Every structure is written in structure tokens, then in C-alpha cells.
Amino acid sequence: MARIAQALQLLPAQGERVPWNLLQHHLPDVALLHYGKLEDH
């Protein structure tokens, strides 16, 4: 468990834009992930 705590700053956080910034509300998030566009840069 200590190793996870040490590496926590290295793990990705929630993004700043859709679809990487989710609302934390199930129904809108499901609709966004199902019908939203995904662009990989």
C-alpha cells in the first residue's frame, strides 16, 4: 500500500476536457461516453 501512496502523483488524474472530465453523475456520464466523440491526439 505504501508503494501506491508514493506513486500517486504519477498516476493520471481527471482531464480538463470532455470525455476525460466526467460529471460524476451516472446518467449524463453514460450518455457522454456512449454518444460522445473521442479524439486521440
- Rounded Cα distance between 7 and 33, Å, is 28
- Four-CA torsion 17, 41, 14, 10, nearest 10 degrees: -150
- The pLDDT value given to residue 15: 78
For 3, the enclosing helix (H) or strand (E) is helix 2-7
- Rounded Cα distance between 17 and 21, Å, is 5
In the predicted structure, residue 40 carries a pLDDT above the cut 80:
no
Write out pLDDT tens, residues 6-38: 888 887 777 787 767 777 888 887 887 788 776
- The pLDDT value given to residue 14: 77
- Rounded Cα distance between 1 and 21, Å, is 27
Backbone angles phi, psi at 21, to 5 degrees: -115, 100
Domain edges within the chain? 15-41
